[in-house]
Chain A
């Protein structure tokens, strides 16, 4: 203890309370601060965590193996598993269906499909639906499936009362499983066989296939005497007796026999019943157009296996029964579907075309298409099985059965979580985990060849009304939309914002600046939903009626402003200085003048350059002209593209050649004389510019290049022009504020030195201030760019939201952000769609992160440089 000068004893140690408080605060603040920063990084990490499963592919794990049939006998035609993976049916070539329980391999049930007569042809397709042709020429349709029943409470038989929760037990011909303390589920085989249908003029069936349309089933048969028979079946139930009678309609077509007399090996009928394929072993395929059941016709002949020596070893439809999957003895699986080119030359206007293929080193022996998506399980002769996704061409995995004998039949479980292969009388099962088979990096970012398309394309189409629709997750149209919105809004916003910032920082008095700057910053705080609403419901309908005037005003405004400047120059020097404070007012006055000129000139331009042939003679109608109606003419499209270019050219020529001439000549002139000559120069240059543009556009139009189709096209009310303008409200204040700050922070002594050396304020601005602040201006543009890329509400409301990829300024688009806002609320959690939308968000995050980082780095450099000055 020492004595202080106040006389009180002073402690030299820190009191424990202060020490504890200090330490607690430090820990608390450090923890809170670090946690906040961690939360911020969590955003990126979580998005990535949701997205990653899209690209992790699939796993196939070894499962069990069960004896399929008691005796090693004929290989099954088809196998099917129930959705709980507890039992499997197999359809034997003799028409018997055998049900085997999977855990023990116990045979539970065996039923013949056909009670009487002999089987001629049998084909089972997706979901256990089968068609069988009898030797007497008739046929029957049916379905093999599982019957599920739930027993609750007292209905549960006594011998199942002790079944523990989740356990399974065989009860007679069924498998029981307890699903809850009070409930037991029973699974059993069900074979529905429809009433046999007899046909007139019977002949034994060799091949058969059927499809179920909304109007009823259709059947295609190949008979042993070489006829193709196509029948629509209409079933009627007699209300009194309950008997179902089937009547058929359709026709026969006698096939032209092949030279070698060989019979076709496969017959396929498409899902819509409009095409029948007859396939020979060597790959020759005849496609028949069956849209008119009464008049079957050969549409085209294709070789499905063009490789010499290869033969077709397996043939199946993909889900939807549109794509044909062809497996050959070389081990290649190829998918074929019909496309509709303009010059098809077939009677139904479509051509069968190969699209995707998957190679292997052993012959394909069995194919099973998934009932959920475009996955396909392939069995090979060497006992291996492989799962692929056809559209994305992704191979999801390959495993080999221990027997290494050919896979006779293969099946994917209803939930696509297991894979079953029948080989050598045994059934092998594998667990399959392929949650997102359709997404690979290239399927998302590169063009993908979807079913029915003429070639690979970028498509985003996430939902549709039909069940067998394939979602198309190509992100490019959305990225394109975001870039289009950004481009057009930046084209409008950047010049205005930068020029306004230059004027504010260099030519405005501080007091006026203090009032004007907050007003523009207020624009930044306008909620974008307000801008979107105004864009969609006020501005879009307004602009729609005055498109020519709006287009003309883009040129009329600069013209009027420049004209105003040259007129201002006519003022005597003293007057000009006196009135300098009111210059801004004069500038304001040029705008209404420009708009008046635009409203007058707009219709004239429309009549001259965008006319359409009407009964009353050519009439100006820009919107009809844009939609490319026949009889539309005029060189207007090129005119608007060329005017800015020719303006730049003439401005450059003028400043390069005319101004130096003028300058040297002017040494003897008075100020007023020079001003008049300058005005004349401006008018001459303007006239030159317009003449140049019109001349060139007529030349280009005469050469039959049409401007429509590229950056011009059909007018849609909600379009890029509107979005570009309204997004300006969002982008301009940001770019303006940041670049104005950058310009203002250029040290005052640089300006003073320049002005002192005799430079005019404009020369100072353009040669001293702007180069110094250049990096600040650049980062302002980058940040504005980032804001425009991610803007949601404006584009959601004003861009029409059609995911098309065209630069047409009068058409809409769909951006990443609007797409998320529209689709995410409907996407099922953890589905591919959901994760794709997260990928869209991650893409947006990435784009803006890169832009902002570039801007930040540039700005830091700028700041350092500004400090050095």
Chain B
């Protein structure tokens, strides 16, 4: 058999392969030759090639997920602070960010003292590499650097100072140093680290409370006031545009605007005084820090978000700091050009956009699928439509973005603006990117997903159930509503969830239709009509792009990007798993339903 099979003149096709082989000529010989020759026929090397391809796929996906998970969860872990003194006399205090090994170039070697150089060259001769560590040294306002590379050979002394404290500040990023003084009203009341730290913990809470109160005043009350004022101004302008300059209606609106403005002015002043009082109270407290290089710096208590003595923390303390940072990350707005603080607006924007998109895409997708499957008469027209819908699933997302920008933002939005928001022109209201247009664009993008999933779900409802319903005298709609739709519901849900997962991860079209680096206001707030669908919004995916790609200091932003990536992947993986789960439940249900 073995010898015979190699002499086959042509490759068998599927059809004749299905027929019994007719060339097993010499049965007596076959028994003898089968053993060794079958080794060649097994194609072990080829099987290994296929299997290792699968292994490569799995390694790729697990490696990537592992990297994101490890890096993402590591970001907020408070590591110990290391203080190193280098050969040139500089002292660096910071957290370890990365370690790598390198071969020092000739220019580096030239600049070194002779003994170090000789040692290094001896090492290099043996092919050894030099380890260097990247320290996050912070103190950007003093040093102008976030990070410092420290090579092992240039270190003279290394320690973990007991009182090295990390301050996360509202501006200028982190501060690393030792607390050496605490002052109230400009008077130093403590100068021992322990005493300073106790005082800090005693006052920091109340100062932060006042700070939060102040921010609430600024964001909510002043925001609402300016919104009212702006609305009144727009109404006045609209009246002028509608009924002409100097008409009675215009004058009335103008008068109203002046009244509102006057009232707002008084209110502004009142809030201003309140804010000033809170600020003054907060300004009384300050912390004096000394950096590793000996510089002293005063930090206002209100400026400090989180502070901890990194080298004294127990595991529980570390967990507490870790949790606190995650909490801040998930619930606060970003600071420092998005590289610090939280991503709450981006989470909010992603969720809200995805929800609006789902609300738009599911009804229309289901309607289209119902039409295609239950109402339309089968024919070339319908199969063409079906091919087109399937095709649309393969159209690149950026094309939808282009369409969304041209059609929704400029064409539809521009028309809405000139009809209803002429008082605001030439600054656009709906005539530019916004959350509504982004949702609509993504709804169009995910429409094929919903249509295909719904069609599959409808097709999976057994014909016998429909026929039973008709036999009982139900109308088409009654059958659909009472029999088909309930059975198809899990499938439709699966489609909706898959659409959400696809929509939440799409970034390219959003870059064109409304996702922005930093949105001043959320698309939902306490001012009537509460939902402001014309506003641009922040999005986790765009946040990643912006932070990783457009940021000034991508090295400092990288840990945050990993965390945001982790968050986005978790959201999408959660949605996908939900869909997979639903699908398997749906399948089980139909297996039970079929007789």
Contacts and interface: CB of A to CB of B under 8 A. Distances in A.
A829 B36 contact: no
A527 B55 contact: no
A674 interface: yes
Contacts of A532: 545, 549
A750 B13 CA distance: 12
Contact of B548 (A21, A533, A674): A533
Interface string A754-795: 100111111100111001100000000001001101111100
Interface string B246-271: 00000000000000000000000000
A496 B57 contact: yes
Contacts of B528: none
Contact of B580 (A518, A825, A853): A518
Given A557-B52, A562-B49, A750-B18, A789 B388 contact: no
Given A40-B392, A760-B42, 18 more contacts: A32-B367, A33-B376, A37-B389, A47-B403, A500-B53, A503-B53, A522-B573, A527-B505, A527-B541, A528-B505, A533-B548, A584-B55, A591-B52, A662-B40, A667-B2, A758-B24, A761-B47, A792-B398
Given A43-B403, A525-B573, A824-B405, A845 B395 contact: yes
B50 A32 contact: no
Contact of A561 (B48, B59, B476): B48
B67 A534 contact: yes
Interface of B: 1-3, 6, 11-14, 17-18, 20-21, 24, 32-33, 35-62, 64, 67-68, 245, 363-365, 367-372, 374-376, 385, 387-403, 405-407, 410-411, 444, 447-448, 451, 475-478, 480-481, 501-502, 504-508, 511-512, 541-542, 544-545, 548-549, 554, 558, 561, 565, 568-569, 572-573, 576, 580
A845 to B, nearest CB: 5
Across the A-B interface, give the 5 residue pairs with the lowest CB-CB distance, nearest first: A790-B396, A33-B371, A762-B43, A527-B505, A32-B367
Nearest to B478: A18
B100 to A, nearest CB: 9
Contacts of A503: 47, 50-51, 53-54
Contacts of B46: 762, 766
Interface residues of A, number: 135
A29 B51 contact: no
A274 B545 CA distance: 46
Given A43-B403, A583-B51, A674 B545 contact: no
Contacts of A245: none
Contacts of A584: 51, 54-55
A474 B447 CA distance: 33
A852 interface: yes
B262 to A, nearest CB: 27
Nearest to A181: B245
Given A527-B541, A790-B399, A659 B49 contact: no
A415 interface: no
Interface of A: 14, 18-19, 21-22, 25-26, 28-30, 32-37, 39-43, 46-47, 50, 181, 495-500, 502-504, 506-508, 516, 518-520, 522-523, 525-530, 532-534, 536-538, 557-558, 561-562, 564-566, 568-569, 573, 583-584, 587-588, 590-591, 659-660, 662-664, 666-667, 669-671, 673-675, 678, 682, 728-729, 732, 736, 749-750, 753-754, 757-763, 766-768, 771-772, 783, 786-787, 789-793, 796-797, 817, 820-821, 824-825, 829, 837-838, 841, 844-845, 848-849, 851-853, 856-857, 869
A820 B402 contact: yes
Contacts of A519: 58, 61-62
12 contacts: A43-B399, A528-B505, A533-B548, A564-B48, A675-B39, A678-B39, A760-B41, A767-B12, A793-B507, A796-B508, A837-B402, A848-B395
B6 A660 contact: yes
Contact of A856 (B62, B64, B390, B505): B390
Contacts of B400: 43
A771 to B, nearest CB: 5
A538 B405 CA distance: 32
A40 B391 CA distance: 11
Contact of A25 (B45, B67, B477, B502): B477
Contacts of A29: 367, 370-371, 374-375
Given A32-B368, A537-B561, A767-B17, A821 B398 contact: yes
B40 A26 contact: no
Contacts of B39: 569, 671, 674-675, 678
Contacts of B35: 573, 670-671
B20 A820 contact: no
A621 to B, nearest CB: 12
B47 A565 contact: yes
Give the secondary structure class of B's interface. Answer: helix
A292 to B, nearest CB: 40
Given A503-B47, A527-B569, A729-B60, A754 B17 contact: yes
Contacts of A675: 39
Nearest to B501: A525
Contacts, number: 380
A667 B53 contact: no
A533 B549 contact: yes
A671 B68 CA distance: 47
A14 B32 CA distance: 80
A527 B295 CA distance: 45
Nearest to A526: B569
A36 B403 contact: no
B391 A534 contact: no
A82 B568 CA distance: 57
B16 to A, nearest CB: 10
B128 to A, nearest CB: 14
Contact of B364 (A36, A525, A671, A797): A36
Contact of B397 (A506, A792, A824, A837): A792
A772 B476 CA distance: 41
Contact of B549 (A536, A557, A591): A536
Contacts of B447: 36, 39-40
Contact of B11 (A497, A500, A732, A767): A767
Given A522-B573, A757-B20, A848-B395, A36 B407 contact: no
Which of B50, B52, B576 neighbours the largest number of chain A CB atoms within 10 Å of its CB?
Answer: B52
Nearest to B546: A529
Given A537-B548, A562-B48, A591 B55 contact: yes
Contacts of A757: 20-21
A682 to B, nearest CB: 8
Contacts of A768: 12, 14, 17-18
Contact of A771 (B13, B40, B451): B13
Contacts of B475: 14, 18-19, 21-22
Contact of B507 (A30, A528, A848): A528
Nearest to B476: A22
A55 B52 CA distance: 52
Contacts of B403: 43, 46-47, 841
Contacts of A767: 11-12, 17
A30 B375 contact: yes
A825 B6 contact: no
A538 B35 CA distance: 51
Contacts of A793: 507-508, 545
B398 A790 contact: yes
Contacts of A837: 402
Contacts of A844: 395-396, 398-399
Contacts of A37: 368, 385, 388-389
A849 B395 contact: yes
A786 B393 CA distance: 10
A857 B391 CA distance: 11
Contacts of A533: 544-545, 548-549, 561, 565
Contacts of A869: 14, 18
Contacts of A561: 45, 48-49, 52
A814 to B, nearest CB: 13
Contact of B512 (A504, A526, A825): A825
